[in-house]
Amino acid sequence: MHRGVSIFARRIFLSSRVVGTSNGLLFSKLNPLNPSFHGFSVCRVFSFVPAHRRTPGPDDPSTLMKEDGVSVCSQMWIENFREPDRIISNLTTYLRRFELWVLAYQKVCADDMGAYMPRNAIQRSALEDLLALRNAVLDSKFKWGARLEFFIKSPKDKTDYESLSKRKIKAILTTTQPAAFQDKIVQEVLFMILEPIYEARFSPKSYAFRPGRNAHTVLRVIRRHFAGYLWYVKGDLSTILDGMKVGMVINALMRDIRDKKVIDLVKAALVTPVITSNIDEGEKKKKKKRKYQKKRVLADDEPKPDPYWLETFFGFAPEEAVKNPSWGHCGILSPLLANICLDELDHWMEGRIKDFYSPSKSDVIWNSPEGEADQGNTSWPEFVPTSGPDKTRKMDYVRYGGHILIGIRGPRADAATLRKQLIEFCDQKYMLKLDNECLPIEHITKGIMFLDHVLCRRVVYPTLRYTATGGKIISEKGVGTLLSVTASLKQCIKQFRRLNFLKGDRDPDPQPCFRMFHATQAHTNSQMNKFLLTIVEWYRYADNRRKVVNFCSYILRGSLAKLYAAKYKLRSRAKVYKIGARNLSRPLKEKKGQSPEYHNLLRMGLAESIDGLKFTRMSLVPETDYTPLPNNWRPDHEKALLEFIMLEDPRTLEEHRRCISEQGLVSPQDYISMLVWNYKRNATMDQTSLMNTIDHRILGSNLDSFGSKAKELEEHDESFQAAEV
């Protein structure tokens, strides 16, 4: 054997040229006398294997990505909004689409790592793991809540689970852990499939956990449609958000979906227990000695924590928006499932609203049979003029998460009857035991609290001017009610007290914000300014926007003044304001604010500029936004979807052409066809003058006068419509 290898090597050395193509490279002469000869070249010749291009298989990740994931999602939205009432029986087709899995991987990576990952930046190994996860879901081999065995891991997870000690494995299996990366991907895929199906079916009366709708939309709807209501039923059904029986959730899903694979996935997510570790009471009571904490440096791929101002604003959330449902391993699917279960209540209330409506001929506002007439002046929709004793009976309803608000125009007995029916419905459908205390009936004069805003009524006496018979203008005094939506100052004080910004109720005293003690003055002022800007936006539709924002600015300014007094040893807030000005824009450290050297350094860019606090005076706060909400309002994405579907419908084009022909108009396309037909028939116009006439008529003239001529030509020649340029 050794002799054969020696003979083969000798033949190679004696050959004049050995040419091998490996990855497009050409080997030079392998001659021992050649100075460029090295032993490594011999090894490359011996190890040379001809490369063949491997044809990708049907399960290759690059082959499965035929379209963009966003286009697939867009097509799902269009299909469901085109036929919103159909029963869907085959969702496994979308579950197989690898584009959706790649898009879900990108979204979860963005949430997990804090940076968006383009599709071409995803490594092939990650795509293969993602394909294995998809196949496991399709083959029913995927299990929710895995702790040690994963099909795919987060790019920042570098843990080697095979080399962990028994103590660490036990800690992972018995303590509370965040949701697995692969669980989040499956949740995201299910969410992308289920959301367009139910968004086309949901009632327009629900506004929480839905795209394009938020708490501001609820306040605008209340201002627009709840004017004139006397009795209000306010209900708290938030116990449903804590969890429902699995059978009820699955039954709600199966009303519209008959796909076994998706139903089984959601059911497994609800049934699989979530492992949580209970902290002993002894450990809670035991006080740990406070140690010095070294400042932690974030890794390159680690997302930054929420800034202080955003975390503070989240703590400022109203009671109706605090609770976010979390059911089993459903994750981001939980709010959608909660809306699916409560959607039956929304549709039931829509039926009650339609049955309750009873118009009165003497009513000047709601006297149409359908009840869709505008409420007085659209620019002042909260004003409702009073009528005679025989008033229109009307009702409206909104739901935000687990909280409902019903407005009733009629006697209190009607509100009590509706409350009784609502209690029976919740007991029958949701097995939720409610009583009269959970659904109180309140009059508008007492003020109705909803989303930290108070709904109240003011009686106004405006001067009504109208034109009588004969053109005579008559002016007379009228009487009506004005719906006022004001921010609750009491609730605002309560939120600030919970965030440790003040103490006391009648005379609130700002407290120093010691959490920003080690931050610079510029950074602290910047954080508080961002918090103030979000407060201004939150109270955008409140009638007392300027008053409540100015109060918030006073609390934050006093808190910072006490903080700076303790930090720079200035003893009092008055001394802080004297050095740092009213808006705390001058530097307090070493009293540089009054020195001309500091202004010179600031002008040269060598000193850090400090932004003063905003809205220190009430005149600086923007006014309330009274823009009326349009009737039959829809979010922008729904309007775009419906308009796209309408333009795709051939009946829309036929209707458009019919309207043009009925009004004696002619479209530009038909006018061009008419000119071309006339040119072919008479041959009195050359081609250049024909094109000039077309350009002139299309760009600069009205086409109304050509309608009659087009009809005459159409009568003489039936081939007019088929003429082509």
454 & 577 share domain: no
pLDDT score of 481? 74
| Residue 283: partners with Cβ closer than 8 Å, 6 or more residues away | none
Q: Do the beta carbons of residue 392 and residue 312 sit within 8 Å?
A: no
Does 610 fall in a domain? yes
Q: Is the pLDDT of residue 360 over 80?
A: no
Check if the beta carbon of residue 615 is closer than 8 Å to that of residue 532. yes
**Does some domain include residue 105?**
yes
Among 63-77, 162-176, 680-694, 706-720, the least confident range: 706-720
> In this structure, is residue 725 part of a structural domain?
no
Of 170, 194, 218, the residue that ends a domain is 194
Q: Is the predicted pLDDT of residue 76 greater than 50, yes or no?
A: yes
Q: Residue 342: inside a domain, yes or no?
A: yes
Residue 706: what pLDDT?
Answer: 41
Residues 377 and 343 in one domain: yes
Q: Tell me: do 371 and 225 sit in the same domain.
A: yes
* Banded model confidence at residue 510, pLDDT cuts 50, 70, 90: very high
Q: Is the pLDDT of residue 150 over 70?
A: yes
pLDDT of residue 689: 59
Task: Give 475 or 412, the one with higher predicted confidence.
Answer: 412
> Do 80 and 223 reside in the same domain of the chain?
no
Q: Is residue 39 included in any domain, yes or no?
A: no
More confident residue, 253 or 297: 253
Decide: helix, strand or coil at residue 718.
helix
> Does any domain span residue 721?
no
Nearest-angstrom CA–CA distance, 386 and 661: 47
Q: Model-level pTM?
A: 0.79
Question: Are residue 378 and residue 445 in the same domain, yes or no?
Answer: yes
Specify if 76 maps to a domain: yes
Q: How many domains does the chain have?
A: 4
Whether pLDDT at 5 is above 80: no
* CA distances, 23 to each of 17, 50, 53 (Å): 19, 9, 11
Which phi and psi (to 5°) does residue 610 adopt? -115, 120
503 & 533 share domain? yes
Q: What percent of the chain is predicted at pLDDT more than 90?
A: 43
State which residues form the domain around 441: 204-249+305-465+476-487
Whether residues 457 and 573 share a domain: the answer is no
pLDDT band at 203 (very low <50, low <70, confident <90, very high): very high
Q: How do residues 530-580 score in pLDDT, each as one tens digit?
A: 999 999 999 999 999 999 999 999 999 999 999 999 998 888 999 999 998
Average pLDDT over residues 496-520: 86
* 198: pLDDT strictly greater than 90: yes
Please report which confidence band the pLDDT of residue 628 belongs to, taking 50, 70 and 90 as the band edges.
confident
Domain limit, last residue, from 194, 224, 257: 194
Q: What is the pLDDT of residue 365?
A: 60
Task: Evaluate if residue 214 carries a pLDDT over 50.
Answer: yes
Please, which residues have CB within 8 angstroms of residue 572's CB and are 6 or more apart in sequence?
565
Is-contact 437 234, C-beta < 8 A? no
d(CA 88, CA 79): 11
The model's pLDDT over 701-712, given as tens digits with 9 standing for 90+, comes to 433 444 444 444
Most confident residue range from 129-138, 431-440, 462-471: 129-138
Out of 55-64, 106-115, 265-274, 672-681, least confident range:
672-681
Output phi, psi for 489, to 5 deg. Answer: -70, -35
* Residue 496, in any domain of the structure: yes
**Has residue 473 got a pLDDT over 70?**
yes
Kindly write down the DSSP assignment for every residue of 109-124, as one continuous string. Answer: HHHHHSS---GGGS-H
Q: Is the pLDDT of residue 232 over 70?
A: yes
Q: Reply yes or no on whether the pLDDT at 302 is more than 80.
A: no
pLDDT digits (tens, 9 = 90+) for 8-40: 344 434 443 333 333 333 333 334 334 343 443
Query: Which residues, 6+ apart, have CB-to-CB distance to 324 below 8 Å?
Result: 241, 334, 335
- pLDDT value of position 653: 80
Determine the Cα angle at 306 with ends 563 and 213, to 5°.
115
Q: Do residue 126 and residue 97 come from a single domain?
A: yes
- Residue 50 pLDDT exceeds 50: no
Write down how long the chain is: 725
Tell me the three state secondary structure of residue 80: helix
Lowest mean pLDDT among 242-246, 499-503, 702-706: 702-706
Tell me: do 232 and 345 sit in the same domain: yes
Percent of the chain with pLDDT over 70: 73
The Cα 169–Cα 120 span in angstroms is 35
C-alpha to C-alpha distance for 61 and 91, rounded to whole angstroms: 21
Q: What is the pLDDT of residue 41?
A: 41
Q: Specify the pLDDT at position 164.
A: 86
For the cut 70, the answer to whether the pLDDT of residue 373 exceeds it is no
pLDDT digits (tens, 9 = 90+) for 103-114: 999 999 998 887
At which of 487, 521, 545 does a domain end?
487
What pLDDT is recorded for position 404? 96
What pLDDT is attached to residue 393? 86
381-402 tens-digit pLDDT: 555 655 455 678 889 999 999 9
The reported pLDDT for the residue numbered 408 is 93
CA distance 722 to 642: 31
pLDDT digits (tens, 9 = 90+) for 634-662: 999 999 999 999 988 888 888 877 887 77
Say yes or no: 341 and 355 in one domain: yes
Instruction: Please say if the pLDDT value at position 293 is more than 60.
Output: no
What is the CA angle 668-670-675, rounded to 5?
Answer: 95
| Domain shared by 75 and 170, yes or no | yes
pLDDT for 538 equals 95
- Claim to verify: residue 641 and residue 564 sit in the same structural domain: no
Query: Which range is least confidently modeled, 64-68, 127-131, 479-483, 687-691?
Result: 687-691
Please tell me the predicted confidence (pLDDT) of residue 323.
86
Distance between CA atoms of residues 41 and 30, nearest Å:
8
The tokens for 246 are: 């699995």
- State the chain's mean pLDDT as an integer: 79
